[in-house]
Structure 1
Amino acid sequence: MKRTTSVIRRAVLAAAVVALAVGCTPEAAGPGGGGASPTTQAPKATTSAPTDAPTATPTTDDKPPSPSATPSTGAPAPKALMGDGDETEQVRELQARLRQLGHFDRAPTGFYGTMTAASVTAFQKKQGLPGTGSVDETTWQRLLTASRKPTADELKPSTTNQLDTPDARCMTGRVLCISKESRTLAWMIDGRVVSSMDVRFGSENTPTREGTFSVGWKARKWTSTIYHTPMPYAMFFSGGQAVHYSADFAARGYNGASHGCVNVRDKAKLSALFDQVKPGDKVVVHW
Structure 2
Amino acid sequence: MIAVGTSGERVRELQARLRQLDLFGRNPTGYYGPVTRESVLSYQRGHGLVATGSVDRRTWSSLCSRSRPPARDELYPPTTLPPAKPDRRCLTGRVLCISKSSRTLSWMIDGRVVSAMDVRFGSQYTPTREGLFQVNFKSRDHVSTIYHTPMPYAMFFSGGQAVHYSADFAARGYAGASHGCVNVRDKKKIASVFGQVRAGDKVVVFP
TM exceeding 0.5: yes
User: Corresponding residue for 2:114?
Assistant: 194
Q: Equivalent residue of 1:231, what SS?
A: strand
User: Corresponding residue for 2:198?
Assistant: 278
1:179 and 2:99 are equivalent in the alignment: yes
User: Corresponding residue for 1:220?
Assistant: 140
User: Corresponding residue for 2:168?
Assistant: 248
Between the aligned partners of 1:276 and 1:217, the Cα distance in structure 2 is 13
- Assess, with a 3 A threshold, how the Cα gap between structure 1 residues 100 and 192 changes in structure 2: closer, same or farther: closer
Tell me which structure has the larger Cα radius of gyration. Answer: 1
Q: Equivalent residue of 1:232, what SS?
A: strand
User: Corresponding residue for 2:15?
Assistant: none
User: Corresponding residue for 1:161?
Assistant: 81
- Aligned residue type for 2:116: S
Q: RMSD of the alignment, in Å?
A: 2.6
- CA shift, 1:105, in A, is 4.0
- Aligned residue type for 1:262: V
Q: Equivalent residue of 2:172, what SS?
A: helix
Q: Equivalent residue of 1:220, what SS?
A: strand
**Is the Cα contact below 8 Å between 1:217 and 1:236 reproduced in 2?**
yes
Residue correspondences, number: 148
Identify unmatched segments of 5+ residues in structure 1.
Answer: 1-97, 108-141, 150-158
- CA shift, 1:228, in A, is 0.7
Between the aligned partners of 2:95 and 2:26, the Cα distance in structure 1 is 22
Q: Equivalent residue of 1:237, what SS?
A: strand
- CA shift, 1:274, in A, is 0.3
Between the aligned partners of 1:230 and 1:204, the Cα distance in structure 2 is 22
Between the aligned partners of 1:248 and 1:262, the Cα distance in structure 2 is 12
Q: TM-score, with normalisation over the residues of structure 1?
A: 0.47
**Is the Cα contact below 8 Å between 1:243 and 1:264 reproduced in 2?**
yes
Between the aligned partners of 2:177 and 2:189, the Cα distance in structure 1 is 20
Give the alignment partner of residue 128 of structure 2, picking from 208, 217, 229: 208
- CA shift, 1:161, in A, is 2.3
CA distances 1:213-235 after superposition (whole Å, capped 9, x unpaired) = 00000000111111110000000
- Assess, with a 3 A threshold, how the Cα gap between structure 1 residues 99 and 202 changes in structure 2: closer, same or farther: farther
Q: TM-score, with normalisation over the residues of structure 2?
A: 0.65
Between the aligned partners of 2:23 and 2:158, the Cα distance in structure 1 is 36
Give the alignment partner of residue 158 of structure 2, picking from 233, 238, 260: 238
Matches within 5 A, 1:46-195: 102-103=22-23, 105-106=25-26, 160-195=80-115
Between the aligned partners of 1:259 and 1:204, the Cα distance in structure 2 is 10
- CA shift, 1:148, in A, is 8.5
- Aligned residue type for 2:183: N
Between the aligned partners of 1:148 and 1:223, the Cα distance in structure 2 is 51
Between the aligned partners of 1:226 and 1:240, the Cα distance in structure 2 is 9
Between the aligned partners of 1:259 and 1:213, the Cα distance in structure 2 is 18
Q: Which has the higher helix share?
A: 1
- CA shift, 1:104, in A, is 5.6
User: Corresponding residue for 2:13?
Assistant: none
**Is the Cα contact below 8 Å between 1:161 and 1:197 reproduced in 2?**
no
- Assess, with a 3 A threshold, how the Cα gap between structure 1 residues 239 and 101 changes in structure 2: closer, same or farther: same
Identify unmatched segments of 5+ residues in structure 2.
Answer: 1-17, 28-41, 54-78
